[in-house]
Amino acid sequence: MNNPLSKTVMVTGATSGIGKATATLFAKRGYNVIITGRRKEKLELLKQRFKRKYAIKVITLCFDIRNVKETKKAWNSLDSDWQRIDILINNAGLAKGFAPIHKGKIDDWDQMIDTNIKGLLYITRLVSPGMVKLKKGHILNVCSSAGHEVYPNGNVYSATKYAVDALTKSMRLDLHKHGIRVSQVSPGMVEETEFAKVRFDGDEKKASIYEDFNPLTSKDVAEIIIFIVTRKKHINIQDVLVMGTQQANSVFVDRSGRTHE
């Protein structure tokens, strides 16, 4: 790397939504970024944009985080400089389906468990030893309000996010003595993402869940992530539970119209 003083951040799931907005804010601030996801073209487009606009280094890693072999191969393709990650944003994740437990699809459950829990673990297992060796680093997990309270039909998605919450707490117990910070952000509903489109299999009508109120935007969450990871070294923000003003919790949302435009 040309500038050894620049920090390196890895953002998983940077092809859209919260991950893309977060990678963009890091790039804007001069961090070297490793952006990951399955959609190669989207990663390449983002890389070109960052290179055009900011004086930073960018690496794209295209892999399916559910596949441990692919994940390891992607990691091993990085040279040793790039494997020194200062900040890991464990963001890749999804909800799939919105059915009561007796009607849920097993494939949807597998995909959520494999991505949101196992994928997060695979990448953390690869990145964290380097942080321990250097006695520094920051890992931020993107959890959800659904990792703090359940809602009807949210069952398995919520379970995966409760698992993320447990992992954030456990990782902090294991890593704090090595000088590594572990944080989490837990947003309620967030627009400018593909979250609802993915959850409802591209059904635009069902995915229109943000039209009658102001949820958070992906950039709102990205700004909070940047705030968390730019505190002084002795400060670790453990979790930020955040929702749009019109959302009181997972169930109570003022859907009387978008009041903040």
Amino acid at 158: S
Which of ligand NDP, ligand 8X3, none sits in contact with 254, Cβ below 5 to 8 A by type? none
The 144-173 site mask, x for binding ligand 8X3 (CB under 6 A), equals xxx-------x-------------------
Give buried/exposed letters for 133-169 (b at 16+ CB in 10 A, else e): eeeebbbbbbbbbbbbebeeebbbbbbbbbbbbebbe
Q: Which residues contact 144 (CB under 8 A, 6 or more apart)?
A: 157, 161, 164, 186, 187, 188
How many angstroms separate the Cα of 170 from the Cα of each of 111, 186, 227? 23, 16, 22
The nearest distance, CB 183 to ligand NDP, in angstroms, is 14
**CB count, 10 Å around CB of 178?**
14
Q: State the minimum distance, in angstroms, from the CB of residue 250 to ligand 8X3.
A: 5
Q: Say whether residue 65 binds ligand 8X3 (CB under 6 A).
A: no
Shortest distance, position 3 Cβ to ligand NDP, whole Å = 27
Q: Using DSSP, how many helices (H) and how many strands (E) does the chain show?
A: 8, 9
CA distance 137 to 157: 28
Q: Is 244 in the site for ligand 8X3 (CB under 6 A)?
A: no
Does 175 help bind ligand 8X3 (rule: CB under 6 A)? no
Is 31 designated active site? no
Q: Check 31, 54, 122, 157 and give the catalytic one.
A: 157
Of the candidate residues 27, 61, 74, 189, the single one contacting ligand NDP (CB under 6 A):
189
Q: Residues 104 to 143: which contact ligand NDP by CB under 6 A? A: 115, 142
Q: Counting beta carbons within 10 angstroms of the beta carbon of residue 114, is it exposed (0 to 12), middle (13 to 18) or buried (19 or more)?
A: middle
x-or-dash string of contact with ligand NDP, 11-30, rule CB under 6 A: --xxxxxxx-----------
Report which secondary-structure segment, H or E, holds 141: strand 137-142
Q: Which residues bind ligand NDP (CB under 6 A)?
A: 13-19, 37-39, 42, 64-66, 91-94, 115, 142, 144, 187, 189-190, 193-195, 198, 218
Residues with a catalytic annotation lie at 157
Q: Which residues bind ligand 8X3 (CB under 6 A)?
A: 144-146, 154, 188-189, 250
